[in-house]
A = this chain, B = another copy of it.
Amino acid sequence: MKKNVLEISSFSNEKLKYISGLKEKKNREKSKTFFIEGYREIQRAKVSGKVKFEYLLISPSCYLGENEEELVDSIDAKTILVPKQVFEKISYRDRPDGLIATAELPDFSLSPKIKLSGDPVLVIEGVEKPGNLGTILRTAEGAGFNAVFVADPRLDLFNPNVIRSSTGTLFTLDVFQSDIQELYPVLKKSGYRTIAVTPEAKSLHWDGNLKGKIALVFGSEQYGLSSYARSQSDEYISLPMKGVADSLNLAMSAGILMYEVLRQNRK
């Protein structure tokens, strides 16, 4: 290791308490910093260029062997070395991989002057479950969506479970947070058609024209679309449901739709 490292062996150290505390929303709000765990997640946060790191907590005996030293050396942060048993106490995971960072909260707010590339985008409204949002981001990234708009979320985007289930794509994608009423005019001005996905729609997704500048809009797990999105969208589509169950999991619906968009837009 090439950098200066501070060794701390007691969990009761104030710095470690601060880092561990960032798993809680109230502490993130107070300090304006957050918690990123895992090689892949920290690596993606780094390459995104959006994240200003603060601390890097390492425990080499937990490393899984993916060039951790190199990543550690490349990150500009105060580095703290802790024993395995201390690391496991701070970790958010069942099987920690020896790397946790803290960083300043990046600004994901929507600028009304945003320039959109013309590719399809995703709008997730009122999302409640961090695991769903993270899975949606991971899938959006796989499906080649560049921008995801998180409107009126019922969760904190920097919840550790969003970061974990997104596998760090929260950073590599362009993610914007705003009110739905602020977002729709921006999308319309940029020439986007808003296509809301809702079980009440009669038109099935595979019959819809999902080419070009489209914004797929999904409502919350429990409440569905807001009355605003319900009334202000340009088109409405649904996924076919063949069995006794009346709906799919939100992340699943979004993933299926995004891959249908990718299919219709393939070269």
Contacts and interface: CB of A to CB of B under 8 A. Distances in A.
Interface of A: 44, 47, 135, 138-139, 141-144, 167, 169, 172-173, 206, 239-245, 247-249, 251-252, 255-256, 259-260, 262-263, 266
B249 A139 contact: yes
Count copies of this chain in the complex. Answer: 2
Contacts of A266: 206, 240
Contacts of A139: 248-249, 252
Contact of A206 (B239, B244, B263): B263
25 contacts: A44-B244, A135-B252, A138-B245, A138-B248, A138-B249, A138-B252, A139-B249, A141-B242, A141-B243, A141-B245, A142-B240, A142-B242, A142-B245, A143-B242, A169-B243, A172-B244, A173-B243, A206-B266, A239-B259, A240-B262, A240-B266, A248-B255, A252-B252, A255-B255, A256-B259
Contacts of A251: 252
Nearest to A262: B240
A248 B142 contact: yes
Contacts of A135: 249, 252
Contacts of A255: 248, 252, 255-256
A51 B189 CA distance: 56
Contacts of A248: 138-139, 142, 255
Nearest to A146: B243
A114 B256 CA distance: 31
A247 B143 CA distance: 10
Contact of A141 (B172, B244, B260): B244
A144 B256 contact: no
Nearest to A206: B263
A218 to B, nearest CB: 15
Contact of A242 (B144, B245, B256): B144
A142 B44 contact: no
Nearest to A255: B252
Contacts of A247: 142
Contacts of A263: 206, 260
A116 to B, nearest CB: 17
Contacts of A256: 255-256, 259
Contacts of A138: 245, 248-249, 252
Contacts of A144: 240, 242-243
A239 to B, nearest CB: 7
A253 to B, nearest CB: 9
A258 to B, nearest CB: 9
